[in-house]
Amino acid sequence: MASPASAAEAAAAPTVSAKGAFLINGSTGAKVFGKGSDTKRQVASTTKIMTARVVLSQPNLNLDKKVTIKQAYRDYVVNKGASTADLKTGDKVAVGTLLYAMMLPSGCDAAYALADTYGSGSTRSARVKSFIKKMNSKAAFLGMTNTKFDSFDGISSTGNNYSTPRDMAKLAKSAYGYSGKFREIISKTKAVRYGTASNGNRRTYTWHNTNQLLGSYSGANGMKTGTTTPSGPCLVFTAKRDGKVYIGVVLNASDRYRDAAKLLDYGFGSRTASTMQLRQLPENAQRD
């Protein structure tokens, strides 16, 4: 009997717009498709998968731990023109909620808060530097030999925040398999979460997932978008059907969702990419 990979290879390999792409069997890690697999590219906010992976692997992690939102996090997203969860200064927000804030609306403010919380040092810049060091250590541990991070969110001032389709697939497989909480978060098209304002009142946050593959492609259940001018549109994605999981990456893709659907169809042996209707984001939702 043909393995899923060889069955996929028997069909015509798809043509994708992405300059780099990779698809693996989510259970075995076996390669199903590759294009520019080992070419280094900037990966924008798909970097946040690693930020989440590092946070979730902290010893004695308490997802209910409260983090106070600093004005610096808000100033950062304004200065960078970055995607934001619009976290309010002085709010106390649980770590688990910050993970939603980072992964759904692609909040760079939330990523900053997590890096500041889980890095070590006496200053914010030292803590952030320490956290990024943890990201690079985790990349080395996962065998991501063509990857370097210089930011917690993919906004790189030096261009030294890069990976490859193959390496990002390794990261995605690790994150997907490591934490049920991570799988829960990345599968949500929308989340309503709460914080405590500085006056003690409850704050309601509503976030929509920037990943439009969710709710559009049958079985899609993650993972993360990313877009900057140097990186182009990027997407790390995963889908599960009939117990089979595929995980894929497209970097610098002019039609990233159609690319992802084509690659998943290739894995699953289906033909739904051409008829897929993309879930539309509300007008006020973040785009990434």
* Contact present, 88 and 195 (Cβ < 8 Å): yes
* Contact present, 43 and 256 (Cβ < 8 Å): no
Dihedral sign from CA coordinates of 264, 190, 17, 47: negative
Active-site annotation holds for 48: yes
* DSSP string of 190-239, one letter each residue: EEEEEEE-TTSPEEEEEEE-S-TTTTTSTTEEEEEEEEETTTEEEEEEEE
Active-site annotation holds for 106: yes
71 three-state secondary structure? helix
Q: Which of 35, 83, 106, 151 is catalytic?
A: 106
Q: Which of 48, 173, 188, 224 is catalytic?
A: 48
Q: Which residues pair with 24 in a beta bridge?
A: 31, 247
Report how far residue 225's alpha carbon sits from residue 103's, in angstroms, rounded to the nearest whole number.
Answer: 9
Q: Which of 45, 151, 174, 231 is catalytic?
A: 45
16 three-state secondary structure? coil
Q: Which residue has the tokens 């997932």?
A: 209
Please name the helix (run of DSSP H) or strand (run of DSSP E) that holds residue 252, with its range, or none. none
Report how far residue 101's alpha carbon sits from residue 84's, in angstroms, rounded to the nearest whole number.
Answer: 8
Which residues participate in catalysis according to the annotation? 45, 48, 106
